[in-house]
Structure 1
Amino acid sequence: MKKMSLLLAALLLSACDKPMPFESAEALAENPNRLKELRLQCRDNRAELGEAQCNAVSDAQRIRFMGKGTTYTPHPVQFFHSGSDNGR
């Protein structure tokens, strides 16, 4: 009976662990002070902060450096001037 109560207590305690709040890359890219703080934490102890959060930190760093990018808008290519009568 004592083993069962210890097992139940251990199970309840392990279920109480809440996941750490996760900050998105977009939110971190808008807040450079928080981004710097989390970059240092990821560098010093990546396991404590979590792999997903450190990946979001690196994505935020990339967004701040490279930008969000522009959408691809293809432009028509004209090899020959087709406005003239003889094609030149």
Structure 2
Amino acid sequence: MKVSIPLVLVAVLAGCGRSESPPQTNIPTVEELAADPKRLKELRQQCKTDRPKLGDVLCNRVAEATRKRFYGDGQTPYTPPKEFPKF
């Protein structure tokens, strides 16, 4: 009885080894997507129609690349016009 409990415990712990991590697919980076507007447009459309198939990681990167292309690097200072518009 005293020997069987440690053996069972060792067997259970041996079966609880590290699980294999899922294979990483080749998901493009935000910079790669921002540099390729044609691919970005296609992926944005696919994310709108079939987000569960593409996955949240890719669609979040697509959204971030779109934001980056729209706003730029964020370092451009605001320069108001010299003349105010006349309505």
Gapped regions of structure 1 (runs ≥ 5): 1-14, 72-88
Matched, 1:59 2:64: yes
- The alignment's C-alpha RMSD in Å is 1.9
Q: Over residues 6-46 of structure 1, what are the superposed CA-to-partner deviations in whole Å (9 max), with x where a residue is unaligned?
A: xxxxxxxxx8x744311111110110000001001100100
Match for 1:42 among 47, 61, 64? 47
Point out where structure 2 has 5 or more consecutive residues left out of the alignment: 1-19, 77-87
Q: Which amino acid aligns with 1:49?
A: L
Report SS of the residue matched to 1:39: helix
Cα distance in 2, alignment partners of residues 37 and 18 from structure 1? 24
> Could you tell me how far apart the structure 1 residues matched to 2:44 and 2:66 are?
9
TM-score, scaled to structure 1: 0.57
Identity %: 45
Q: Which amino acid aligns with 1:43?
A: K
Q: For residues 34-67 of structure 1, give each alpha carbon's deviation from its aligned partner in whole angstroms, at most 9, with x where no partner exists.
A: 0001001100100111100000000000001000
TM-score scaled to structure 2, two decimals?
0.58
Q: Which runs of 4+ in 1 moved over 3 A?
A: none
The one-letter amino acid paired with 2:75 is: T
